[in-house]
């Protein structure tokens, strides 16, 4: 009991502080409205800067408050991880490979980068877990292995090291439903848009409750735990990377910045200036400095565009720039995208990005999303350890991620504000910079309205992410 009292006191003190800061923020914004007509653009800028400072202080306080529970959270996280990985290990290492039920993941995706390939694999491992089958990877014409002597297993430990792919004389049956459960070996329909009931954002029901307790986004914890069964570099690479980390000066505090350019920004996504990334890095360090001393602001930079490294050096000399030069060199040579070098390059970059304290990247890239999920396996809860320069997290062909109303919202006469009650389920389409979300009601007063649900805007804080299970 002696230990508990000071802990509670410190929480109370922090809350009082927090309250003072929040009321300060409200007074601040009122004065902005009252005097809006007489404020010059300069004043507005100053007000904006002041509210940024208040936000930063609030975030720092929140970190302190949650740190009070760190020990408990760590224990909860490690025990959940231990339970889950033990179960998965048993499944992936059966006594006999021939008699074990197997699920073959057809990873023969020619145009898929490493991040993209890992996402296919995650879906398949989730299916293995749900169907109680050992995962077998089948890789043939993948860009990094096609026509080359290197194989996936040379880089990564396969999910089930003992049971490997061997060609079957009969074509394998594709698993579609429970009627295929009796078959010894089935093929997983690895179609990215094929929604299955055990796909993210759903998590196994047997883990849901405990995850809700210690993690802000249980579904990303889940994806991270599945991922480490795939993104597990072979020991010789692990040794190589550990040596390399020392050589390049990789140490905490360090922010991982991933700037995706080349083929991606030519067709699929917008290219953002380095400044957009660095404003978020700066903000992270300003916040960190409120809770600890930072001797040197450090960035681990990864990009498929070599010019970004040059630009960084020129524009941000005050930062310690850490990067894996070998990777930079290999991504510079376009023709090596298919080569061994290029797989090694992106593998190292993702490995190092996942060892940073905070990520700044574009969630439109598979690389950014994979690294964010792996980050969850290094901290009890790494929900907030990222800033995306473009969109929010997505998962291709996922089950929907619903939100539940925790505060009611009144329908506005304007026809724009969405009315809902506590407990209603909402599908969020977008959340904007000013804290407003746009979405549609899918469940109202307990009954599903799905497509007929009303659409509209509301303050984002009135909802909480809701966890779906399989
Ligand atoms: P996405 O296209 O960004 O969504 O992700 P993919 O996984 O489909 O493709 C990423 C591919 O682009 C990688 O496999 C690399 O070939 C290349 N790439 C992207 N970013 C980097 C990077 O930071 N470093 C290196 N070395 N290669 C990168």
The pLDDT of residue 333 is: 45
Which residue among 112, 333, 336, 346 has the greatest number of ligand 1 atoms within 8 angstroms of its CB, and so is best to mutate?
346
The pLDDT of residue 220 is: 97
116 Cβ closer than 6 Å to some ligand 1 atom: yes
424 Cβ closer than 6 Å to some ligand 1 atom: no
The pLDDT of residue 300 is: 98
For residues 335-342, average pLDDT: 57
> Relative to the CA of 345, which ligand 1 atom is closest?
26
pLDDT in tens, 260-275: 998 888 888 889 999 9
Which has the higher per-residue pLDDT, 221 or 58? 221
> Relative to the CA of 368, which ligand 1 atom is closest?
3
The predicted model scores a pTM of 0.87
Mean pLDDT of the chain: 86
Report which protein residue has its CA nearest ligand 1's atom 28. Answer: 304
The pLDDT of residue 3 is: 45
Residue 16 pLDDT greater than 70, yes or no: no
> Relative to the CA of 364, which ligand 1 atom is closest?
4
Report which protein residue has its CA nearest ligand 1's atom 15. Answer: 346
304 Cβ closer than 6 Å to some ligand 1 atom: yes
Residue 246 pLDDT greater than 50, yes or no: yes
Residue 297 pLDDT greater than 90, yes or no: yes
For residues 151-175, average pLDDT: 88
Which has the higher per-residue pLDDT, 66 or 295? 295
The pLDDT of residue 26 is: 44
Please state which of the ranges 185-194, 304-313, 351-360 shows the lowest mean pLDDT. Answer: 185-194
Residue 295 pLDDT greater than 80, yes or no: yes
* Residue 56 confidence class, pLDDT cut points 50, 70, 90: confident
pLDDT in tens, 404-449: 999 999 998 877 899 999 999 999 888 776 778 899 999 999 999 9
Residue 374 pLDDT greater than 90, yes or no: yes
Report the separation in Å between the CA atom of 160 and the middle of ligand 1, taken as the mean of its atom positions.
Answer: 26
pLDDT in tens, 100-140: 999 999 887 777 899 999 998 999 999 999 999 999 998 87
327 Cβ closer than 6 Å to some ligand 1 atom: yes
Q: What is the C-alpha separation between 208 and 126, in angstroms, rounded?
A: 14
> Relative to the CA of 370, which ligand 1 atom is closest?
7
Report the separation in Å between the CA atom of 322 and the middle of ligand 1, taken as the mean of its atom positions.
Answer: 18
The pLDDT of residue 32 is: 44
For residues 36-51, average pLDDT: 62
For residues 138-163, average pLDDT: 84
For residues 166-178, average pLDDT: 85
For residues 311-317, average pLDDT: 98
124 Cβ closer than 6 Å to some ligand 1 atom: no
Report the separation in Å between the CA atom of 69 and the middle of ligand 1, taken as the mean of its atom positions.
Answer: 37
* Residue 369 confidence class, pLDDT cut points 50, 70, 90: very high
Which residue among 116, 341, 353, 367 has the greatest number of ligand 1 atoms within 8 angstroms of its CB, and so is best to mutate?
367
260 Cβ closer than 6 Å to some ligand 1 atom: yes
343 Cβ closer than 6 Å to some ligand 1 atom: no
* Residue 81 confidence class, pLDDT cut points 50, 70, 90: very high
Residue 4 pLDDT greater than 70, yes or no: no
Q: What is the ipTM of this complex?
A: 0.99
Report the separation in Å between the CA atom of 237 and the middle of ligand 1, taken as the mean of its atom positions.
Answer: 19
> Relative to the CA of 349, which ligand 1 atom is closest?
24
Residue 11 pLDDT greater than 60, yes or no: no
The pLDDT of residue 385 is: 96
* Residue 337 confidence class, pLDDT cut points 50, 70, 90: very low
The pLDDT of residue 84 is: 98
Report which protein residue has its CA nearest ligand 1's atom 13. Answer: 113
């Amino acid at each position: 009991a002696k230990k508990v009292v000071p802990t509670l006191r410190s929480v109370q003190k922090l809350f009082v502080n927090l309250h003072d800061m929040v009321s300060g923020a409200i007074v601040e914004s009122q004065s902005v409205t009252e005097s809006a007509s007489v404020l010059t653009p300069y004043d507005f800028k100053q007000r904006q800067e002041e509210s940024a400072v208040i936000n930063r202080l609030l975030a720092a306080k929140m970190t302190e408050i949650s740190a009070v529970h760190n020990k408990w959270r760590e224990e909860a996280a490690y025990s959940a991880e231990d339970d889950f990985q033990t179960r998965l290990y048993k499944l992936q290492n059966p006594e006999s490979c021939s008699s074990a039920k197997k699920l073959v993941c057809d990873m023969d995706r020619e145009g898929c980068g490493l991040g993209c390939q890992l996402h296919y694999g995650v879906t398949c491992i989730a299916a293995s877990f749900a169907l109680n089958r050992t995962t077998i990877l089948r890789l043939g014409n993948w860009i990094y292995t096609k026509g080359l002597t290197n194989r996936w297993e040379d880089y990564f430990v396969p999910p089930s090291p003992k049971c490997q792919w061997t060609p079957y004389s009969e074509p394998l049956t594709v698993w579609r439903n429970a009627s295929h459960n009796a078959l010894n070996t089935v093929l997983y329909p690895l179609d990215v848009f094929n929604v299955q009931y055990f796909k993210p954002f759903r998590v196994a029901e047997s883990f849901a409750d405990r995850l809700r307790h210690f993690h802000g986004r249980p579904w990303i914890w889940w994806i991270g735990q599945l991922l480490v069964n795939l993104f597990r570099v072979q020991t010789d690479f692990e040794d190589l990377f550990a040596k390399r980390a020392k050589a390049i000066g990789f140490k905490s505090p360090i922010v991982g910045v991933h700037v995706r350019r080349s083929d991606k920004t030519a067709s699929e996504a917008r290219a953002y200036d380095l400044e957009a990334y660095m404003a978020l890095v700066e903000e992270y360090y300003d916040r960190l400095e409120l809770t600890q001393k930072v001797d040197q602001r450090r960035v681990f930079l990864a990009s498929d565009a070599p010019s970004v490294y040059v630009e960084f050096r020129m524009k941000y000399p005050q930062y310690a720039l850490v990067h894996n030069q070998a990777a930079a060199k290999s991504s510079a040579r376009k023709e090596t995208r298919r080569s061994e070098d290029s797989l090694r390059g992106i593998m190292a970059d993702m490995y190092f990005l996942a060892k940073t304290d905070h990520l700044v990247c574009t969630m439109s890239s598979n690389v950014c999303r994979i690294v964010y999920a792996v980050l969850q396996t290094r901290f009890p809860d790494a929900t907030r350890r990222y800033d995306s320069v473009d969109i929010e997290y997505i998962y291709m062909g996922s089950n929907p991620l619903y939100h539940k109303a925790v505060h009611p919202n009144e329908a506005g006469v304007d026809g724009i504000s969405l009315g809902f009650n506590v407990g209603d389920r909402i599908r969020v389409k977008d959340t904007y910079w000013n804290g407003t979300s746009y979405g549609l009601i899918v469940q109202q007063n307990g009954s599903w309205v799905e497509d007929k649900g009303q659409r509209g805007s509301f303050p984002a804080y009135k909802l909480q992410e809701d966890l779906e299970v399989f």
